[in-house]
Amino acid sequence: MSVVTRFAPSPTGMLHIGGARTALFNILFSRRHNGRFLLRIEDTDRARSTKDAVDAILDGLDWLGITPDEAPVYQTSRAADHIDCARAMIENGTAFKCYATPEDLQARRERGEANRNAAKADELSDDARASLLALAAADLGPYRSPWRDGGPPPASDAPYTIRLRAPDTGSILLKDEVQGEISIDASEVDDLILLRADGTPTYMLAVVVDDHNMGITHVIRGDDHLRNTFRQIPIYQAMGWPIPTFAHVPMIHGPDGAKLSKRHGALGIAAYREMGYLPEAINNYLLRLGWSHGDWEIFSLEDAADVFSLSGIGRAPARIDFDKLSATNGHYIRTCDLEQLTALVEIELSKTLDISPRLRETLRTSLAIMRDRGDTIPALAEAYGFITATRPLVMNKKARKTLKGETLDRLAIIRDEIAAAAQWRAETLKITLADIMERQELTIGQLGPPLRAALTGGLPAPDIDLVMEWLGKDECLARIDDQLKITTLNDDGHEKQ
List residues binding ligand GLU (CB under 6 A).
Answer: 8-10, 42, 207, 221, 225
Give the residue with the Cβ less far from ligand GLU, 9 or 458.
9
Dihedral sign, Cα of residue 322, residue 328, residue 331, residue 336 = negative
Burial 311-327 (b: 16+ CB within 10 A, else e): ebbeeebbbbeeeebbe
Cross-strand pairs, 104 = none
Dihedral sign, Cα of residue 287, residue 292, residue 296, residue 302 = negative
Give the residue with the Cβ less far from ligand GLU, 42 or 469.
42
Which strands make up the sheet holding 193-195, listed edge to edge?
95-98, 161-164, 193-195
> What is the C-alpha separation between 93 and 87, in angstroms, rounded?
10
Give the residue with the Cβ less far from ligand GLU, 191 or 211.
211
- The DSSP letter of residue 152 is -
398: annotated active-site residue: no
The nearest distance, CB 205 to ligand GLU, in angstroms, is 12
Is residue 247 within 8 Å of residue 177, measured between CB atoms? yes
Give the residue with the Cβ less far from ligand GLU, 9 or 374.
9
Secondary structure (DSSP) of 300-314? -HHHHHHH--GGGB-
Distance of CA 400 to the CA centre of its chain: 44
Q: What are phi and psi of 194, to 5 degrees?
A: -100, -45
Cross-strand pairs, 173 = 183
Is residue 239 within 8 Å of residue 85, measured between CB atoms? yes
Prior bond to 68 cis, omega within 30? no
The nearest distance, CB 219 to ligand GLU, in angstroms, is 6
The nearest distance, CB 8 to ligand GLU, in angstroms, is 4
Give the residue with the Cβ less far from ligand GLU, 16 or 288.
16
Tell me which of 97, 120, 175, 262 is the catalytic residue.
262
The nearest distance, CB 210 to ligand GLU, in angstroms, is 9
The nearest distance, CB 207 to ligand GLU, in angstroms, is 5
Q: Which helix (H) or strand (E) holds 181?
A: strand 180-185
191: burial class by Cβ within 10 Å (0-12, 13-18, 19+)? Answer: buried
Side chain identity at 217, as an amino acid letter? T
Pairing of strands 95-98, 318-319: unpaired
Give the residue with the Cβ less far from ligand GLU, 129 or 225.
225
Query: Of the candidates 424, 432, 484, which has an alpha carbon nearest to the alpha carbon of residue 453?
Result: 484
Count of other CB atoms within 10 angstroms of residue 116: 16
Is residue 377 within 8 Å of residue 440, measured between CB atoms? no
Give the residue with the Cβ less far from ligand GLU, 202 or 366.
202
Cross-strand pairs, 163 = 96, 193
The nearest distance, CB 12 to ligand GLU, in angstroms, is 8
Give the residue with the Cβ less far from ligand GLU, 43 or 348.
43
Q: What are phi and psi of 405, to 5 degrees?
A: 50, -130
The set of catalytic residues is: 262
